[in-house]
Amino acid sequence: MQLDLFQWDLLETGKGYACLAQLDLAEARSRFARVLEARPAHPAATAGLQAVRYWEQAFRAVAALQGERAVALFWKRLQAFSFGSGEVDRELRASLLARLQQMMAEEGIDYLPPDLCLGYLSLQLGDAIAAESQLRTLIETVPGEGLLYGYLGDALWRQGRREIANGVYTIGLLRDPERLSAHVPCNARLAAVIAAYGAAMAPVHGFLEGILPLVELEESSATEAVRIYGLLRRSERARRRRDHAAMMAARRELQNLAPEVFTAYLRFVQAGEQEQPPREGTKESGRSRPKDERATHDREAGLVRGR
C-alpha cells in the first residue's frame, strides 16, 4: 500500500509539473493540492505549489499594467525566478519566454533597454536565424548598445558562422565593454579571455591569442584600450603592406602607451611565421593570412547583411 501511494505521488506530482511547464496553472495547482492533501509535507508538491502561486501572482500583476510597464514587470519576475536544471524547468522557462515574446509583439515593442529585445528571445527559444535578422535591424537603430552585439555574435555562432561572430563580438567589446562584461559569449575561449583581462582589453588579448580578428573602428574620443587596439591594427596593416616606416611608428606609440602589450605583440609577431593553431571557427591561422584575404575578413566581420 505504501509503494502504491509513493508511485501515485510521483505520477501526480509529475503531471502537476507538466501542467506548470505549459502554464496551465489551474490544473497544476489542483494536482499539487491533491498530493498535499494526502501528504502535507511532500517536498516536490510543496515546491510546485509555491511556483504556481508565484506565477499566478505575477500574471495578475502584469494584467493590471499595459505596454512597456507590463513587459518590464514580466521580465523582472522571470529574471527573479529560480529555475532548476531539469527538463521541466527548461520547458517552463521556454513557455514563459514565448509568452513574453508574444506580449512584446502584441504591444509593438522590439527593445526594452538594457537587456531585453525580441532578438534575444528568439535566440533563447532556439531560432538563431530570426534572432540574427531582428538584432541586425535593432542595431541599426541603437548602434552603441554593446550587449546587442553580444546577442548577435551568439546568434551567428549558433549558426556555425563563427568567424563572422568573432568579428561582431569584437565590435561590441570595443564599443561598449561595460555592458558586455557580464555577458558570457558562446565562444568559450573568448569568455575565458574576458574573465582573465576584462571586457575592455579582451579585443587586444583576444587578437594576440589568435581568437579575435582586427576590425575597423573609429578612434575618435577612444578609451586607452581602444587606442591600444588601434595601434595593433595599424602595425599589422603596415607590416602586411611591408610599410616599414608606418609599422615602426605604430610600434613606438604602442610601446609608449602599453609596454606589456607591446612585448606580447612582439612575441606574437615572432611566432607569426610559424604554423599556429587555427582561430576559433576557422580552418587556418589568422596570423598567416594574405593581406587581401585579411581585408576580406575585416569586411565580413562588420554588420553586413545577406551573409
The predicted-structure confidence for 79-98, as pLDDT tens digits, reads as follows: 999 999 999 999 999 999 99
Residue 200 lies in a domain: no
The stretch 270-282 carries a mean pLDDT of 58
Q: Would the pLDDT of 253 be above 80?
A: yes
Q: What is the pLDDT of residue 244?
A: 96
The stretch 272-285 carries a mean pLDDT of 49
**Cα R_g (the chain), whole angstroms:** 25
Contact 156, 132 (CB under 8 A): yes
91 Cβ neighbours under 8 A, 6+ residues apart: 21, 22
pLDDT in tens, 95-112: 999 999 999 999 999 999
Residue 16 lies in a domain: yes
d(CA 50, CA 48): 5
Peptide bond preceding 177: is omega within 30 degrees of 0, i.e. cis?
A: no
CA-wise closest residue to 89 among 184, 18, 13 = 18
Q: What is the pLDDT of residue 26?
A: 98
Q: What is the pLDDT of residue 274?
A: 59
d(CA 46, CA 33): 9
Residue 24 lies in a domain: yes
Tally of structural domains, the chain: 1
Distances (CA, A) of 36 to 10, 39, 54, 55: 12, 5, 18, 19
Residue 270 lies in a domain: no
Residue 127 lies in a domain: no
The stretch 4-33 carries a mean pLDDT of 92
Q: Would the pLDDT of 5 be above 60?
A: no
b/e 182-194 (16+ beta carbons within 10 angstroms → b): ebebbbebbeebb
Q: Would the pLDDT of 295 be above 80?
A: no
Q: What is the pLDDT of residue 272?
A: 75
The stretch 157-179 carries a mean pLDDT of 96
Contacts of 164-168 with CB under 8 Å at 24 or more apart are 164/300, 164/301, 164/307, 165/281, 166/190, 166/206, 166/211, 166/212, 166/213, 166/279, 166/280, 166/281, 166/301, 167/212, 167/213, 167/215, 167/297, 167/298, 167/300, 167/301, 167/302, 168/301, 168/303
The stretch 24-28 carries a mean pLDDT of 98
Percent of the chain with pLDDT over 70: 86
Q: Work out the pLDDT band at 234, boundaries 50, 70, 90.
A: very high
pLDDT in tens, 124-140: 999 999 999 999 999 99
The stretch 164-178 carries a mean pLDDT of 96
For residue 2, give its domain range: 1-107
> pTM for this structure?
0.85
d(CA 303, CA 307): 9
Residue 33 lies in a domain: yes
CA-wise closest residue to 151 among 174, 128, 177 = 128
Residue 173 lies in a domain: no
Q: Work out the pLDDT band at 4, boundaries 50, 70, 90.
A: low
Residue 260 lies in a domain: no
The stretch 254-259 carries a mean pLDDT of 97
116 Cβ neighbours under 8 A, 6+ residues apart: 71, 75
pLDDT in tens, 283-292: 433 444 433 3
> What angle (nearest 5°) sits at the alpha carbon of residue 231, between those of residues 181 and 153?
35
Q: What is the pLDDT of residue 304?
A: 39
Q: Quickly tell me which residue has 532578438 as its cell.
A: 119
